[in-house]
Chains A and B, each alone.
Chain A
């Protein structure tokens, strides 16, 4: 392999570092109408009357749309394969407003100033209703978030809008009571994770325009171009063949853009007016009406025998999907399924969940997708179990963690066994790098601060088994170069590059000889999109398949030119040779453009029956000032098994970035509400993501397994890396100052209060 497993720079790097205009708003036509939304100030209200005459009279205003002007059918904006597991519970604009921020009207005008003026002139009379703001009181509450009769769950997921349920379920394996009865040690605690914002630097934005065929073109910052095409079609009540979606460079996604958060608004404006339009969400909007991580409360009962073998787990989840059910029924599955699979000796488990509607901002997909919440809870419970037993948590993991060929209990994706797994080596190496034995559990520093060590394990998936589709087209060009067309969305992670690396190695050519481009649903092969840690694995396999098909075609073509049977020839990437004669790829490429009936291009789709997990061990050290509770992460060691790292540099930066997002979730990030259901921290002034001052040492290494079903042995990496910081840091805090915090984020206030209360649980 000349390129796979090598740290080549990204193909688009130079454009990005020199600030070229490659993002949605840079490319939007300069005569775009500006689109903005009037938003509800109330968490639960009905529009009694809405007057738009004055707004429409503002100079430069082209249209003002209300619920009376939109198609009357419900849809979901969750980017999922059809039929979506998320309920059809939205309209572009609705008469019923279900959270403070729900759009009431769409205004489009020539300038931002005109639009702002018009927004202020819309007069709305609201019928304000009591709101359901606490997820604990949502189920069977007389106040319904979705009382409407046309609410629809396309797939049976235990949803019932008349009970405020977006999903519910119960899974049981083995005799749980008997398994717990055999346990010498049992922990039964409840852990609470909050909604977090992805905070990609480029907020949500979309631009739309009509083309010469009367079709709606949607240029958008998305992870899901093909799903957006379907969603926009349904929302507007037009065939999706009338919609073309183009994805340029994206300024980050992290799952936020796996939901079509803003696409439908300019789409409707352009469809109605025929004029190009664009919407650019402010950071404020991206913090109050976006697609954050589901708040979850997870009760975990974990039991182990005398030897520290974890025998039984009972996981009970309450997930808050907010006002709409986007990704609600699916995230919760991972909360149980990924965490359960971390314990290979389980005799029995029980996993049950309710996903409830409330009158707060709707949740969505955020890196880790439910697994992050479940792993925080289960890994924390296991750490508590280790303390109860007086056992080193690393030793406890060594006895219980997944091993290659061993079982993956409760794991989704038809993978009853770990086909590839080097988690044992990951943990061993992480322990060495960290000098765990010297630093666990804690040490007092000369300045009086206390450092504590904590750890956790994690696994995620590699694409959704039997669902996700990766697609790739490879074609030979006249000059002997290859064009790789992809339908997955590079959101900065570098998938265009790593898939080009695979192509270069498959075709035995130079990386510079592979041309790769942005996604265009008119041109790119179908791909379900960049989410669920699918791209490297699923689209990578599609690339391998397409390359293999194209190699055969090139060889057959060359054999034809040589007048030889194909089995007497070989193709080495440069020439087709046989019987001492040869014809070069350049000659083949030219010949294929003249009088030719054999196309030298191949398109392949791939979908996997299994979803082989990548694994990670994460070890954290925190430093706490016992006087103030101030806490910082001084050192984080991560060792990852993502199979073959296709591009070690990009895999490392994914890991570092994921850890820092995880540190944010652990220590500072939390979407907070007032008593009246409005978001308190609606700017970067208040919603604090980590800055570089908050990041200590981060050390990442890889201990690769080889996944037979993966391209070049690769598995995923994107989501896994956010899963260990929360539980590792929570236990490090406990080991430092004896304060057990089960509700994120772990703020200095909570630590100080815990210390003040005499090291009780908070």
Chain B
């Protein structure tokens, strides 16, 4: 079946099967940041943005994104570098395999929540598993990133 959608702000066409999952389509189209860590929608590694909202691409049929806008980490390279520097600044990126899904959800959170506190961060990101870091380094990096963003806003106002 033919379909078309916006992938990282580029209009793309694709040939898919009725049962093709969005995750597999995205990898076929070269978005290798999208990872599969389970088959049961538990790990969050495959998180991408669909019309600005985070979705698990392992649990969505490719056809459901017909005409919609999908953003993967490949489409947010600059933002990923900026936040990633904080994550790496803690050493919390570790093996890196969960990073893309985690970072996409961090971006979704920052869009949705104003200045989240630690508890809100934990709740929002609860579906993003990581086996290396023990999570607390990830939280540190988010808090530092938020402070940095706040400071920059302050500077801008001045």
Contact = CB atoms under 8 A, between A and B. Distances in A.
Interface of A: 7, 9-10, 12-23, 26, 198-203, 249-252, 254, 282-284, 491-494, 647, 649-650, 652-653, 656-661, 683-685, 689-693, 695, 697-698
B126 interface: yes
Contact of A16 (B83, B96, B135): B96
Contacts of B33: 18-21
Contacts of A647: 91
A200 B134 CA distance: 12
A198 B130 CA distance: 12
Given A18-B80, A693-B122, A657 B91 contact: no
B94 interface: yes
Interface in B113-158: 122-123, 125-139
Contacts of B83: 17
Contacts of A21: 32-33
Nearest to B86: A17
A17 B137 contact: no
B135 A692 contact: yes
Nearest to A494: B91
A283 B91 CA distance: 26
Given A684-B40, A692-B135, A19 B94 contact: no
B107 to A, nearest CB: 12
Given A17-B103, A200-B95, A252 B132 contact: yes
Nearest 7 CB-CB pairs, A to B? A492-B95, A19-B33, A17-B84, A16-B96, A251-B97, A13-B88, A660-B134
Contacts of B134: 653, 656-661, 695, 698
B39 A657 contact: no
> For the complex, would chain B's binding face be called helix, strand, loop or mixed by DSSP majority?
loop
Contacts of A252: 94-95, 97, 131-132
A693 B96 CA distance: 21
A13 B88 CA distance: 6
Given A657-B131, A657-B133, A692 B139 contact: yes
A207 to B, nearest CB: 14
A690 B103 CA distance: 19
A660 to B, nearest CB: 4
Contacts of B71: none
B73 interface: yes
Given A652-B91, A653-B134, A692-B126, 15 more contacts: A9-B89, A13-B93, A16-B99, A17-B80, A17-B85, A18-B73, A19-B32, A200-B97, A201-B98, A656-B134, A683-B38, A685-B42, A689-B129, A691-B135, A695-B134
Contacts of A690: 135
A17 B87 contact: yes
A660 B130 CA distance: 10
Given A17-B93, A26-B32, A693 B123 contact: yes
Interface of B: 32-35, 37-40, 42-43, 45, 72-74, 77, 80-81, 83-85, 87-100, 103, 122-123, 125-139
A653 B129 contact: no
Contacts of B126: 691-693
Nearest to B33: A19
Contact of A202 (B42, B97, B129): B97
Given A16-B99, A18-B84, A652-B137, A689 B131 contact: yes
Nearest to B104: A19
Given A283-B39, A684-B129, A19 B100 contact: yes
Contact of B38 (A10, A283, A658): A283
B14 to A, nearest CB: 16
Nearest to B95: A492
A692 B125 CA distance: 8
A199 B32 CA distance: 21
Contacts of B72: 19
Given A200-B131, A252-B131, A10 B43 contact: no
Contacts of B38: 283, 683-684
Contacts of A19: 32-34, 72-74, 80, 99-100, 103
Contact of B132 (A492, A649, A693): A492
A656 B81 CA distance: 24
B108 to A, nearest CB: 15
B35 A201 contact: yes
A324 to B, nearest CB: 24
A493 to B, nearest CB: 7
A691 B136 CA distance: 11
B129 to A, nearest CB: 6
A697 B134 CA distance: 11
8 contacts: A13-B93, A15-B96, A200-B132, A252-B95, A649-B90, A653-B132, A683-B42, A692-B125
Contacts of A683: 38-40, 42
Given A18-B81, A647-B91, A683-B40, A254 B131 contact: yes
A493 B97 CA distance: 12
A201 B100 contact: no
B136 A695 contact: yes
Nearest to A662: B134
B130 to A, nearest CB: 7
A489 B135 CA distance: 23
A12 B94 CA distance: 10
B130 A201 contact: yes
Given A9-B89, A283-B39, A653-B91, A249 B96 contact: yes
B71 to A, nearest CB: 12
Contacts of A20: 32-33
A17 B99 contact: yes
Contacts of A661: 131, 134
Contact of A14 (B40, B81, B95, B98): B81
A254 B132 CA distance: 9
Contacts of B127: 691
B38 to A, nearest CB: 4
A544 B38 CA distance: 41
Contacts of A689: 129, 131
Nearest to A657: B134
Nearest to A251: B97
Contacts of B74: 19
A695 B119 CA distance: 11
A201 B39 contact: no
Contacts of A691: 126-127, 129, 135
